[in-house]
Amino acid sequence: MKKEKDTYWNILKGLAIIAVVVGHAGAPVVEYVYMYHLALFFFISGYWYNDKHSSTPAVFIGKRIKSLYLPYILYNLLFLTLHNIFFKIGFFTDVNTDIPGIYPTRLYDQETVVPIINDIISLKTLDQLGAATWFYIALLVVSVLFCTTRYVSLRWFKNPNIATVIITLSLYYLGFVLNSEQIKLAFFLDISLIVTIVFLIGFLIRYYNVKINYNWWISSICLAILYFSLQKFGHVEMSQRQFINPIMFLICSFSGIYINMYIGKLIIKTRFLARMFSYIGEHSASIMVFHLLIFKLINVIYVKIHSLPLYYVAKFPLVYGAHGWWIVYSFFGVATPVGVIYLINIIIDNIVLLRYRSNNVRASE
């Protein structure tokens, strides 16, 4: 039962990361997936939050720094290290053009690199190919906010759950005040103030063991809500700090989350699909980090096919997503990182197996 539960939530992570990649690939449904895809990640993280961490926030924060901040640094430094190689093979360009998405750059020297390294470590900048890793920092800040809120609530209030809800709602209100005044805070704190409430609701669902009924007609209503909201208020885009309004943000986030939870229940009934989506979910972090790099490879193919100038490869996040090209970007953006990991695991398993057999042969001699 526990294994099936883990599989289900990995499936949800798989659906979430696919939505991220599809959104970046410019799919026709991009505005719909933007309404919920990152909220789904925060919801899942909140669901799996272990309340025992609330009594030792310093330990928890240390673990989150290790699991989120350090990978953020390492991945962005990796892309920075490879910048000159990518520049020479055409992934970046120094051509000045008015074409949207093409950002001129140049080869880096030591004088250029040192300030960039400092800015990466201090969370002031991102490498272009590491752009999606901003989510790591937002999740880190949300986790810290929630753990701190729980710590305060458990120590100072008779009813810690009510206190947690009130404090989180206060943070939510503050976040929207800052958003309305277009005030941006360091470390994506202004964004995190808003989305902590999604983390909280995920936590409460597990805490109270809430049973959710999944059916197609509620999912249809949720889809209609997303359509209505898009027509009336526009779409959500967290990275651009676009949240429409406080009420509709929550309604749309949980409409999208419910639809995906319903789809997850359908997927888990089919063993092959369950294993595939679960595996994708288990490796969602790698997909998040590397899918923009894979997009560059697809850019090369597109530019060659359509005989475009080479500097079009530098277009970010992709050259062209219409006429089905978004499917190509999406498929390889998800499949390539997962496929590489799968092959590496096979190689490692074979090496371990060969060593095991070799040791057995020596022992028998």
pLDDT tens for residues 170-211? 999 999 999 999 999 989 999 999 999 999 999 999 999 999
Mean pLDDT of 254-258: 96
pTM more than 0.85: yes
Distance of CA 40 to the CA centre of its chain: 9
Q: How many CB atoms lie within 10 A of CB 255?
A: 24
Q: Crossing angle of helices 284-305/325-364, nearest 10°?
A: 120
Mean pLDDT across the chain: 93
Owning domain of residue 192: 2-364
pLDDT band at residue 352 using 50, 70 and 90 as cut-offs? confident
Which residues, in sequence order, are bridge partners of residue 237? 242
Output the six-digit token pair for 360: 């057995």
DSSP of 196-245? HHHHHHHHHHHHTT------HHHHHHHHHHHHHHHHHH---BGGGTB---
Span 263-285, pLDDT tens digits: 999 999 999 999 999 999 999 99
Band of pLDDT at residue 107, cut at 50, 70 and 90: very high
Domains in the chain, number: 1
Q: Copy the structure tokens of residue 180.
A: 């309305």
